[in-house]
Amino acid sequence: QVQLVESGGGLVQPGGSLRLSCAASGFNLRQYVIGWFRQPPGKKREGALCVSRPEGDTYYRDAVRGRFTISRDNDKNTVYLEMNSLNPEDTGVYSCAAVVTDGILKVLEDDYDHWGKGTQVTVST
């Protein structure tokens, strides 16, 4: 059974950092694309913030490029999202999602088959 569990969210001050984890089970991470998504309060979930493909390349949305870093540890079946220079606009529920790779970059919510329940990130004073 494919399962994704996010952790690491919390309350952080503007300018601070957090590291989120997405623990995968029931499948081999080496065969899957993993994306991180965000749903701001009162809004729909946005397209992928970051994507990690098992082929080694990554994608970042402009709003987070240079501040967020996605990485994966295939031996631990875990994907990480390092977030720096956080601002209040980064507040939201962060979810990871997985889909089997087919060589194509996946940035849309509908591209993904499996989802975690999410972890709350709040950036505030």
What does the pLDDT look like over 66-86, one tens digit per residue? 999 999 999 999 999 999 999
Judged by DSSP in three states, 110 sits in: helix
Distance, in Å, from the CA atom of 11 to the CA atom of 91, rounded to the nearest integer, reads: 9
CB 37 within 8 A of CB 50: no
Q: How confident is the model at residue 103 (pLDDT cuts 50, 70, 90)?
A: confident
Q: With contact defined as beta carbons under 8 Å apart, do 33 and 98 qualify?
A: yes
pLDDT band at 40 (very low <50, low <70, confident <90, very high): very high
Show contacts of 102-107: CB within 8 Å, 24+ apart: 103/55, 105/33, 105/51, 105/53, 105/57, 105/59, 106/33, 106/35, 106/48, 106/51, 107/35, 107/47, 107/48, 107/51, 107/59
Mean of the per-residue pLDDT values of the chain: 96
